[in-house]
Amino acid sequence: MELCDTPAYELAVLLRQKRTTATEILNSCLARIEAVDGRPGTLEPQPATLPEDAGKVHAFITLMKTHAMQQAQAVDEKLAAGEDPGPLAGIPVTIKDIFCVRGAPATAASRILANFVAPYTATPVTRLEQAGAVVLGKVNLDEFTYGSSNESSAFQPSTRNPWNPERVPGGSSGGSTASVAAGEAPLSLGTDTAGSIRQPAAFCGVVGLKPTYGRVSRYGLIAFASSLDCPGPVARNVTDAALMLQAIAGPDPQDATAANVPVPDYLAVLDEGVRGLRIGLSPDYFRITYPNPETGEMEEQPVPEEMTAAVRRAAKLLAEMGAEIVEDVPMPNTRYGIPAYFVISRVEAASNLHRYDGVKYGYRTPDAQNDLRLMYRRSRGQGFGPQPKLRILMGMYVSAAQYSAQYYNRALKVRSLIRRDFDQVFDRSGRYRLDALLTPTTPTTAFPMAAVYGNSVMMQYADQLTVPANHAGVPGLSFPGGLAADGMPIGLQLLGPDFSEATLLRIARSYELATESDAWRKVKPKVLR
Amino acid sequence: MTDYEVIIGLETHIQLNTVTKIFCSCKADSWFDPPNTNICPVCTGLPGVLPVLNKSAVEKGALLAAAMHAQLRPLSFFDRKNYFYPDLPKGYQISQYDQSLAFGGYLDLPMPASAGRPAYVRHVGIIKLHLEEDAGKTKNVGGERWTDFNRCGVPLVEMVTGPDLRSADEAAQYLIRLRQLLRWIGVSEADMERGQLRCDANVSIRPVGATYLNPKTEIKNVNSIESVRDAILKEVERQIREVEAGHKIEAWTLEWDEDKQVLRKMRSKETEADYRYFREPDLLPIRLTEEWKAEILSALPELPLERRQRFMDAYELPEYDAEILTSERRLSDYFEQAVLAYRGDPKRVSNWLMNEILRMLNERGLTADALRLTPTYLADILRLVDSGQINTSTGKSLVEKVEATGKSPQQIVAEEGLAKVSDDAAIRAVCQEVLSESPKEVEAYRAGKQTLMGWFVGQVMKKMRGKADPTLARQILEELLS
Ligand SMILES: [Zn+2]
């Protein structure tokens, strides 16, 4: 196995045993990037398409090669000097280009921030660096994280799915999950607002964790919906995800909403098994409810059989290892997750986008010199792509004084109902007393490029099974659960009470062990075959 | 001609005197600093930054609310007020909307007697009191718009009165009392010229006896109490003129031009702007626990108007004295400490304070707590005068000497031999000397010009350089001349 495909926790051991160096690991990753990534995303690629674009991953916007080499060298020097270089020493990590890293562009995959170079570093990135990780570069995403496919990025070509480059990697952390799936880096830092880590993790066959809201600081994360955004790890296996969460979790004096809750030792409990844990299955997570676009009537569709089957098989394996499976757990408000999300996230997004006005930094229109209002309108009109504009329009509409009671305040009520669903089933003295819910991460596997883009309502309904955790603030973990008939990965999701990341990781780790010798585990993504 | 009643409401912005800004650790006051020197990623609204609340701003805001008799909310929230302006780097201001730090409150404003009207009290209600961050400043420089972000994130309390004030004088009095209170409780320097206390005035008129409210105009950009008064007077005149001419008052926003002393129309107020308020998701609610509240309120002193009344009741001071002595907290503390040390007539302490001490404070630009002449020393001086050990003029000169040296009055009296001469023989000798040197005056006195006695005493005092006991000198002189 090449170093770039080796799990992070194994690399850490190899490094300490002096069987490899940080520079060798980095070089292996750089070679992989060279082999599979193709040209990085740019604002106006010339030419717009190249024949060789087709089979490439295009995860990167900014490859920070020199920076990474310096960091790797520093780790090697520390190791040579007998110093402790940190738990993530020499592990290359990619950063979703929605985090600020001092001295590097922070584009948010938008024209409006294409020229913005961050003067400070986001807290989770600082913590990765303090743990010795090597920051390899900034990876692509949907513009301002607004999307589920990566295609809305202003930086094209947008990221492709390493399992099949005709398909989307998912989003918005598609660059993160694709870079990890393709062996360009063992770890990536993503963000999850409605499923933006878990959905692309499922689509790319990797592990993605949305921690409890407040578990990981948001300082330096360019905000989408501040009350929903969660930074979290993307990794190729559960142990690596735990290793990374360990480094980035914890209170932060620069984020008032970062929880003042001690960080447990995630790795210590990882192999404790599932005996005695109560894991629930909910019928509300085996169907998708959506409004008929013509009539507006709510319609229901069961999740495809192969997704359901993957979940049932996982439940069976966990039961065999001693977990108690609880069927028919009611989560009745799941269906309202998306409509409520549409309102809340857009109100916050519209406000968060106010600061991009062409006055202080970022894109400023060249053709309005003497009129402030015109400069605002043109800078924003030319700088934002269609997804931010849609969010601004809707956010402004539903937060207007005459509508906010009808939409925004109502959405907040729905949000507390969704939270109540979780509270009831996780209640220690309640009827269900669950440690976790087991669900499919997504209703489908990765969809073909251009299939859903343009119909943003349908794309958003792909988040129906992930968004409730964001409303409720609870942690959610997506991990690979097999391959579908189309050859694409299936993602399984675990949802737990606040700060139960250790338990979720433990359950997923047990599943990993139980399926270690499954045939699908040997299949590599297409770009690596 | 109709008689009109003037209706005024004041909207004030008070800059709290915290060391750092409300949501970052930049220095709060930038009055003496060049533009864009007290800024950081947080207060300039760079992508990805988050606000972190400065507890001290909450504490000062709560103290002010309590001093205004407002009710503190145990749970209050920050909200975003969304609008575009180049001096507002985030495109929204973090403010408080429907659940602010406090609600209610009032100030009972004593109005002094004036021509044809006895003194009265105006009850001024507070209809809004909340915390918020300040925006920056922009100015036009040769066709360019320049922005200074230093002021972004400076903590403010916005406090709005009801339409309760009835004259320009009342509006000015309100600001005088508010400024006094802010300095008194130590939450703001309240210097209007430095923008630490800002005021917009809403003005309307109506026929006397009417109970409805007419459309009002809003006067902005007034940066002294005098200007507020002048601007309101001008605006009331204008409104009366318009109404008398049969015109309607329109809800304009007016700007006061300090140099030209005129009001200028800034804009017509169309519909109220929609700021799309919603809860600030980046900040937790403010939980004012009973413990925290008690801790904050333990710093709430007796308020100036209360103390003023007490000085009149307990020390039987005239209103004039009580007013001056409570104009500033440290001065009133000084007075009270001196009264306590002196144990004599408080009015006597007041006289000395208002004459000798205030003059010294003004001349040296000091506050009472910075004096080397402590309240105890002042009491010592008064007692020396009372007991006849020194005369009044020596006492007054002692005030300066104690302040200059920091020595106790007793020590200076001893060292400089300032004590009055009460020795009968010494004074008798000088009296005889004076009489033998002034035969004409002695003759005139004996012929009946009794008023010359003062002149004789003066001569004795002059010879003894003020140290003689004048009462004794008079007795001796009368005896010698009889
Ligand atoms: Zn600052």
The residue from B278, B295, B312 where one domain ends is B295
Residue A177 lies in a domain: yes
A295 within domain boundaries: no
Are B266 and B198 found together in one domain? yes
Q: Rounded distance, CA A152 to CA A110, Å?
A: 9
B481 or A205: whose pLDDT is higher? A205
- Tell whether A372 lies on the interface with B, counting CB pairs under 8 A: yes
The rounded percent of chain B whose pLDDT value lies above 70 is 98
Pair (B429, B404) in one structural domain: no
Tell me the pairing of strands B102-103 and A324-326: unpaired
Q: In chain B, which residues have their Cβ closer than 8 Å to the Cβ of A221?
A: 48
Are B349 and B282 contained in the same domain? no
With cut-offs at 50, 70 and 90, classify the pLDDT of residue B270: low
B18 touches B25 (CB < 8 A): no
Identify the helix (H) or strand (E) that includes residue B334: helix B329-342
Q: What mean pLDDT is predicted for residues B9-16?
A: 98
Q: Do B200 and B79 sit in the same domain of this protein?
A: yes
Q: Are B224 and B199 in contact (CB under 8 A)?
A: no
- Say if the Cβ atoms of A257 and B82 lie within 8 Å: no
Which of B227, B260, B295 is the C-terminal boundary of a domain?
Answer: B295
Which of B53, B84, B283 lies nearest to residue A357, judging by beta carbons?
A: B84
Arithmetic mean of pLDDT, A274-286: 97
Count of other CB atoms within 10 angstroms of residue A412: 18
Question: Does one domain contain both A229 and A347?
Answer: no
Residue A316 counted as domain residue: no
Instruction: Quote the pLDDT of residue B192.
Output: 95
Residue A355 pLDDT greater than 70, yes or no:
yes
Three-state DSSP state, A232: strand
Ligand 1 mean position to B95 CA, how many Å? Answer: 17
Same domain flag for A62 and A197: yes
B225 shares a domain with B363: no
Nearest CA in chain A to B281: A227
Question: Do B359 and B222 belong to one domain?
Answer: no
Q: Give the chain B residue whose CA is nearest to the CA of A377.
A: B84
Mark which residues 235-264 of B lie under 8 Å from A by CB. Answer: none
What is the reported pLDDT for B238?
96
- Residue B8: give the domain boundaries: 4-295
Residues of B in Cβ contact (< 8 Å) with A253: 52
**Assigned domain for A49 exists:** yes
For residue B260, count CB atoms less than 10 angstroms from its CB and return exposed for 0-12, middle for 13-18, buried for 19 or more: exposed
**A30: Cβ–Cβ under 8 A, 6 or more apart, which residues?**
A65, A68
| Residue numbers in A near B281 (CB within 8 A) | 225-227, 257, 348
**Mean pLDDT over all residues of chain B?**
93
Please provide the DSSP assignment of B32-97 as one string: TS-TTSS--TTTTT-TT------HHHHHHHHHHHHHTTPEEPSEE--EEEE---TT-TTSEEEE--
| Residue A394 clears pLDDT 90, i.e. is over it | yes
Is A105 part of a structural domain of the chain?
A: yes
Q: Is the pLDDT assigned to residue A341 strictly greater than 90? A: yes
Q: Mark which of A408, A428, A450 sits at the end of a domain.
A: A408
**Choosing among B78, B282, B286, which should be mutated to test the A contact, i.e. which has the most A CBs within 10 A?**
B282
Q: Which residue in chain B has the smallest CA separation from A116?
A: B47
Residue A451 has a pLDDT of: 81
Subunit contact A256:B50, Cβ cutoff 8 A: yes
Contacts 24+ apart (CB under 8 A), A375-382: A376/B84, A379/A112, A380/A112, A380/A356, A382/A111
Tell me the residue type at A343.
V
Q: Are residues A8 and A99 in the same domain?
A: yes
Min CA distance, A511 vs chain B (Å)?
A: 37
Note the pLDDT of residue A212.
Answer: 98
Confidence of residue A456 (pLDDT cuts 50, 70, 90): low
Q: Please state the rounded mean pLDDT for residues A359-372.
A: 90
Verify whether the Cβ–Cβ distance A355 to B145 is below 8 Å. Answer: no
pLDDT at res. A455: 62
Specify the pLDDT at position A460. Answer: 63
- The chain-wide mean pLDDT, for chain A, equals 95
Distance B193 CA to ligand 1 centre (A): 24
Closest-CA distance, A55 to chain B, in angstroms, reads: 34
Report pLDDT for B207: 95
Q: Which range among A26-40, A442-456, B239-253, B364-378 shows the weakest confidence by mean pLDDT?
A: A442-456
Q: Chain B residue closest to A252 (CA)?
A: B52
How many other C-beta atoms are found inside a 10 Å radius of the C-beta of residue B228? Answer: 24
Q: Is the peptide bond before A47 cis (omega within 30 degrees of 0)?
A: yes
> Residue A41 has what pLDDT?
96
Q: In this structure, are A36 and A126 located in the same domain?
A: yes
Contact yes or no for A360 and B44 at CB 8 A: yes
Is it the case that residue B149 has pLDDT exceeding 90?
A: yes
Compute the distance between CA of residue A442 and CA of residue A201 in angstroms, rounded to an integer: 10
* Residue B212 structure tokens: 């409805």
List C-alpha distances in Å: B71 to A203, B62, B103, B109, B129.
54, 9, 5, 19, 10
Considering the domain architecture, whether residues A12 and A157 belong to the same structural domain is answered as: yes
Whether the per-residue pLDDT at A293 is higher than 80: the answer is no
Q: CA of A227 to nearest chain B CA: how many angstroms apart?
A: 5
Q: Does B393 lie in the same domain as B447?
A: no
Yes or no: say if B187 and B64 are a contact pair by the CB < 8 Å rule. yes
| pLDDT at residue B464, rounded to an integer | 81
Inside any domain, residue A442 = no
Tokens 């002096």, residue located: A18
Cα A189 from chain centroid (whole Å): 8
Instruction: Please name the residue that has the structure tokens 């903590």.
Output: B155
Q: What is the pLDDT of residue B267?
A: 79
Tell me what percent of chain B is helix, strand and coil, each rounded to the nearest 5. 40, 20, 40
Lowest mean pLDDT among A166-170, A301-305, B189-193: A301-305
**Separation of CA A138 and ligand 1 centre (Å):** 27
Task: Answer whether B91 sits within 8 Å of A120, measured CB to CB.
Answer: no
CB atoms A219 and B48 under 8 Å: yes
> Residue A218: which of B50, B53, B92 has the nearest Cβ?
B50
B-facing residues of A in 89-118 (CB < 8 A) are 99-100, 106, 108, 113, 116, 118
Q: What is the pLDDT of residue B472?
A: 83
Q: What is the pLDDT of residue A453?
A: 61
Tell whether A243 and A365 lie within a shared domain.
Answer: no
pLDDT level of residue B480 (50, 70, 90 thresholds): confident
Which of B47, B281, B282 has the CB atom closest to A106's CB atom?
B47
Tokens describing residue B150: 């230093």
For residue range A81-131, list pLDDT tens digits in order. 999 999 999 999 999 999 999 999 999 999 999 999 999 999 999 999 999
At A296, the pLDDT band (50, 70, 90 cuts) reads confident
For residue A526, is pLDDT > 60?
yes
**B362, B470: one domain:** no
- Count of domains in chain A? 2
Q: Are residues B439 and B405 in the same domain?
A: no
CA of B23 to the centre of ligand 1 (A): 7
DSSP per residue, A455-477: -HHHHHHTTTTTHHHHHHT--EE
Domain that holds residue A195: 3-267+522-528
**For range B32-61, the mean pLDDT:** 97
Q: Which of these three, A380, A408, A436, is where a domain ends?
A: A408
Which pLDDT score, from 0 to 100, does residue B467 have?
76
Same-domain check for residues A31 and A159: yes
Q: Is A219 on the interface with B (CB under 8 A)?
A: yes
CA distance B295 to B79: 26
pTM (2 decimals)? 0.92
Q: Which pLDDT score, from 0 to 100, does residue A458 have?
A: 58
Residues with Cβ–ion distance below 5 A, ligand 1: B 24, 26, 40, 42-43
Question: Do B399 and B429 contact (CB within 8 A), yes or no?
Answer: no
CA B421 vs CA B235, B456, B479: distances in Å: 67, 17, 19
Closest by alpha carbon to A144, among A451, A480, A386? A386
Q: Answer whether residue A75 is part of any domain.
A: yes
| Domain end (from A408, A425, A440) | A408
Q: Which residues contact A309 (CB under 8 A, 6 or more apart)?
A: none
Q: Nearest Cα to B384, choosing from B364, B399, B362, B371?
A: B399
Task: Find the CB nearest B48 among A222, A351, A353.
Answer: A222
* B145 interface with A at CB cutoff 8 Å: yes
Which CATH number goes with the domain that contains B443?
A: 1.10.10.410
pLDDT digits (tens, 9 = 90+) for B400-414: 999 999 999 999 988
Among the listed ranges A66-75, A206-215, A370-379, B40-49, which one has the minimum average pLDDT value? Answer: A370-379
Q: What is the mean pLDDT of residues B31-35?
A: 95
pLDDT computed for residue B1 by the predictor: 65
The length of chain A in residues reads 529
Q: What's the number of domains chain B is made of?
A: 3
- How far apart, in whole angstroms, are the C-alpha atoms of residue A17 and residue A178? 30
> Mind listing the pLDDT tens digit for each residue in A194-252?
999 999 999 999 999 999 999 999 999 999 999 999 999 999 999 999 999 999 999 99
The percentage of residues in chain B with a pLDDT greater than 90, rounded to a whole number, is 78
- Integer CA distances (angstroms), B149 to A118, B27, B80, in order: 18, 12, 19
Round to whole Å and give the CA distance between B25 and B54.
8
- A218 backbone dihedrals φ, ψ, rounded to 5°: -95, 0
Residues A363 and A257 in one domain: no
| Residues of A designated as active site | 96, 172, 196
Q: Single out the residue in B416, B443, B462 at which a domain terminates.
A: B416
Does residue A378 belong to any structural domain of this protein? yes
Give residue B143's pLDDT.
83
Contacts of B147 in chain A (CB under 8 A): 359-360
A346 and A263, same domain (yes or no) = no
Least confident of A44-53, A255-264, A344-353, B375-384: A44-53
Low-confidence winner among A279-288, A386-395, B145-154, B420-429 (lowest mean pLDDT) = B420-429
Contacts of A254 in chain B (CB under 8 A): 50, 52
Q: Are residues B54 and B116 in the same domain?
A: yes
Q: Are A355 and B281 in contact (CB < 8 Å)? A: no
> What is the mean pLDDT of the segment spanning B310-328?
96
Give the pLDDT confidence score for residue B202 in this predicted structure. Answer: 97
pLDDT band of A317, cuts 50, 70, 90:
very high
Q: Which of A427-431, B111-115, B340-344, B350-354 has the lowest mean pLDDT?
A: B111-115
Same-domain status, A245 and A345: no
Distance of CA B153 to the CA centre of its chain: 26
CA distance A501 to A512: 16
Q: What is the ipTM of this complex?
A: 0.95
pLDDT tens-digit map of A171-202? 899 999 999 999 999 999 999 999 999 999 99
Query: Do A225 and A361 belong to one domain?
Result: no
* Chain B residue whose CA is closest to A120: B41
Residues B367 and B237 in one domain: no
Residues 274-333 on B with a CB inside 8 Å of A are: 274, 276, 278, 281-284
Q: Do residue A350 and residue A201 come from a single domain?
A: no
**Same domain membership, residue B476 and residue B387:** no
Q: What is the pLDDT of residue B271?
A: 64
Q: CB pairs below 8 Å between A and B: how many?
A: 97
